[in-house]
């Protein structure tokens, strides 16, 4: 039984090797042209991505400042309550704690809304950048006769990385 399994595996190996060798000449005649583009670098370095980031910062600057001011007020009231707690009556302390709790809830709500709105706008802006990037990648791929262009890879050789070409085109 062991002998039969070993010879069957040997036969499978021989057949597989023969198949692979039969395809090798066809593959050698038709070599593929492959490229890679780092989407991360595009979002970090491309002129349209930087413009989008600047636009978002300007759009959300006032709300960010308002949140920072609210956080400072919250901290100041909390510190004042801690300092005055010993001399306050129970009813005054409870009222201040309620006010502080209400302000904290409002702050948390506004902070959550700010993050949600910022993420939504960032996604909108980045999708515009990605659309434009994909158009440029297609143009380069067609002009330079690439068979396939990858945007995500665990590893890509510098030899096939065309990110710099894409960045240059996006800067125009």
Q: Say what the pTM is.
A: 0.69
Angle among Cα 108, 109, 111 to the nearest 5 degrees reads 65
Count CA atoms within 13 Å of residue 31 on its CB side: 2
For residue 30, the model assigns a pLDDT of 65
CATH assignment of 29-169, among 3.20.20.150, 3.40.50.300, 3.30.70.20, 3.30.910.20: 3.30.910.20
What are the φ and ψ backbone dihedral angles of 33, each rounded to 5 degrees? -105, 115
- Per-residue tokens: 133: 């990037």
For residue 25, the model assigns a pLDDT of 45
Print pLDDT tens along the chain (172 aa): 444 444 434 444 444 444 444 444 444 446 889 999 999 999 999 999 999 999 999 999 999 999 999 999 999 999 998 898 888 888 988 999 999 999 999 999 999 999 999 999 999 999 999 999 999 999 999 999 999 999 988 999 999 999 999 999 999 8
- Which alpha helices (DSSP H) does the chain contain, by range? 2-29, 39-45, 47-84, 90-143, 163-171
């Amino acid at each position: 039984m062991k002998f039969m399994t070993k010879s069957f595996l040997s036969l499978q190996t021989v057949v597989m090797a023969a198949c692979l060798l039969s395809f090798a000449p066809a593959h050698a005649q038709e070599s593929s042209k492959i490229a890679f583009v780092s989407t991360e670098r595009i979002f970090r370095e491309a002129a349209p991505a930087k413009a989008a980031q600047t636009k978002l910062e300007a759009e959300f600057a006032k709300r960010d400042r308002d949140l920072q001011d609210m956080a400072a007020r919250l901290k100041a009231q909390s510190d004042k309550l801690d300092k005055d707690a010993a001399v306050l009556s129970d009813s005054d302390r409870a009222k201040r704690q309620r006010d502080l709790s209400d302000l904290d809830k409002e702050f948390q709500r506004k902070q959550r809304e700010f993050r949600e709105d910022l993420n939504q706008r960032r996604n909108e802006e980045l999708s515009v950048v990605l659309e434009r990037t994909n158009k440029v990648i297609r143009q380069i791929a067609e002009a330079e006769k690439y068979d396939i262009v990858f945007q995500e890879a665990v590893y890509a050789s510098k030899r096939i990385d065309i990110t710099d070409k894409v960045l240059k085109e996006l800067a125009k």
